[in-house]
Amino acid sequence: MKYDYGIIGGGPAGYTAGMLLARKGASVVIFEKDKLGGTCLNKGCIPTKSLLHSSEIYKEVFCSSNIGLDVSVNSFDFSKVIEKKEQTVVKIRKSLELAVKNSGAAVVYSEARIKDKNTIIAGDNEYIVSEIIYAAGSKPREIKGLEFDHEFVLSSDDVLNIRKLPKTVLIIGSGAIGIEWARIFSNFGTEVFVSEIAEHLLPIADIDVSKRIERIFKERKIKYFLNDSIEKIDKKTVTLKSGNTINPDFILSAAGRVPLKPDLECTVLGDSCGEIQLAHYAIHQAKKYALGIDYDKTLIPSVIYGEPEIAWVGLREGDCGDGCKKILLPVTALGKSWCDDSTEGFIKLILNDNMIKGAHIVSKEASALIHEIIIAMQNRLTADDLKKVCFAHPTYSEGIFEALIRA
């Protein structure tokens, strides 16, 4: 069997490259040992967002008295939440499978390995290809001394398979995975503890974002320990180096992911590159490879979901020199936030010489707002240019204008 391209991995990088190349007329075969969609669709972005949505509805039901509702909940079946999550994943995956099929790319559901620069072995078959693309993704990172046993110490893959809510959970790490799962469990009423080895929660973010998350966690009674880590585990009693002890139902180790690397040199896309481990970055890598559509690596947005959303792009305040100017507008300045009972957060812009160099948003709809700023940054629009835009009222988007006009 001969093909122009052999792609190992059917995640966002692999399936995007496969479909685009096939639509250009190339013969393409994608090798996927599990399910199309990769980590994002099957074990990451999509299932966690479904769970987040369900948890937020659960929380809102119990906070509805302020709008005159007298709600009585007779029972709660967590298995229905899991069922809804799984149905969502299946629906999206079927749509993806159809799109790949219609593009003309072939899919082989088998683990593949590279024999040489033009040969891929999958099952009992050899595939001769002109080019090999390796997009096998990543796997959960294990912490030494806290290896996954898939019962008490869970990975981000394992936690998606739980069938009942824990009463108490300890989350190790406060990156995107840790923050989102802390929100999910807290919304459902679980007692949540977070241990972070750095000085602040979400240490990769701007300092104002980190401090705001810490404030939100305190308000929601999510307990966190900074500059801390696990000292020992005795049965199910966890002792931290700070001396604090916790008795969780299980530990979620959310210390990020490790890229899966090829054995031989070839084109590498997606998480396997070991660069920015985000699905949208992988998709744009594939678009550049297949279509030559370029992108600016410094303008890749980061988004953490839940209420409120968190999003950022570009420089943090700590990255800037003396020439930078910081603008911070509290979300409470926006009428829409009061209408939505979503007054927590801010819009923070970093400017230099009238150009936006960074943006950091904690707000409802932050995942949408950040793209308005990215479009301005990518097209070299000045702060004065943005002031000329008529933003609708009442919206969260007008917060960008309000921040700039008050500078």
Domains, the chain, in order of start with CATH, read 2-140+257-291 (3.50.50.60), 153-253 (3.50.50.60), 300-405 (3.30.390.30)
Alpha helices of 268-334 — where are they, by DSSP H?
279-291
The residues facing 310 across adjacent strands are 304, 362
Looking at residue 61, its pLDDT comes to 86
Looking at residue 73, its pLDDT comes to 78
* pLDDT tens readout for residues 23-55: 999 999 999 999 999 999 999 999 999 999 999
Contact call for residues 5 and 29 (beta carbons, < 8 A): yes
d(CA 62, CA 49): 20
Looking at residue 322, its pLDDT comes to 80
* pLDDT tens readout for residues 221-269: 999 999 999 999 998 999 999 999 999 999 999 999 999 999 899 999 9
- In total, the chain counts a number of residues equal to 407
The residues facing 143 across adjacent strands are 146
Q: Select from 59, 76, 69, 68 the least CA-distant residue to 307.
A: 59
Average pLDDT over residues 56-84: 85
Mean pLDDT of the chain: 95
**Residue 206 corresponds to which tokens in the numbers above?**
């701007």
| Residue 156 pLDDT > 80 | yes
Q: Select from 157, 137, 131 the least CA-distant residue to 282.
A: 137
Residue type, 384: D
78-103 and 45-61 helices, crossing angle to 10°? 150
State how far the alpha carbon of 297 is from the alpha carbons of 89, 261, 276, 354, in Å: 29, 21, 9, 22
Average pLDDT over residues 124-138: 96
Looking at residue 328, its pLDDT comes to 96
Average pLDDT over residues 356-377: 97
Name the phi and psi angles at 43, rounded to 5: -135, 15
- Residue 28: CB atoms within 10 Å: 27
**Residue 369 corresponds to which tokens in the numbers above?**
């707002």
- Residues 6 or more apart whose CB falls under 8 angstroms from that of 277 comprise 138, 256, 257, 259, 271
Longest dimension (CA), the chain: 68
The residue ranges of DSSP E strands in 9-84, in sequence order, are: 28-31
Alpha helices of 220-378 — where are they, by DSSP H?
279-291, 335-339, 366-378
Looking at residue 172, its pLDDT comes to 98
Average pLDDT over residues 163-191: 97
Looking at residue 207, its pLDDT comes to 97
Instruction: For residue 66, name the pLDDT band (cuts at 50, 70, 90).
Output: confident
Name the phi and psi angles at 301, rounded to 5: -75, 150
Peptide bond into 301 cis (omega under 30): no
Average pLDDT over residues 185-192: 97
- Residue 134: CB atoms within 10 Å: 27
Instruction: For residue 384, name the pLDDT band (cuts at 50, 70, 90).
Output: very high
d(CA 21, CA 28): 7
| Residue 65 pLDDT > 90 | no
Burial 247-266 (b: 16+ CB within 10 A, else e): ebbbbbbbbbbebbebeeee
The residues facing 370 across adjacent strands are none
- pTM reported for the whole predicted model: 0.94
Looking at residue 197, its pLDDT comes to 96
| Residue 123 pLDDT > 80 | yes
Instruction: For residue 407, name the pLDDT band (cuts at 50, 70, 90).
Output: confident
Torsion of CA 326, 331, 333, 336, to 10 degrees: 140
| Residue 74 pLDDT > 80 | no
Name the phi and psi angles at 239, rounded to 5: -110, 125
Contact call for residues 133 and 265 (beta carbons, < 8 A): no
d(CA 258, CA 338): 41
Q: Select from 302, 349, 340, 351 the least CA-distant residue to 208.
A: 349
Looking at residue 72, its pLDDT comes to 77
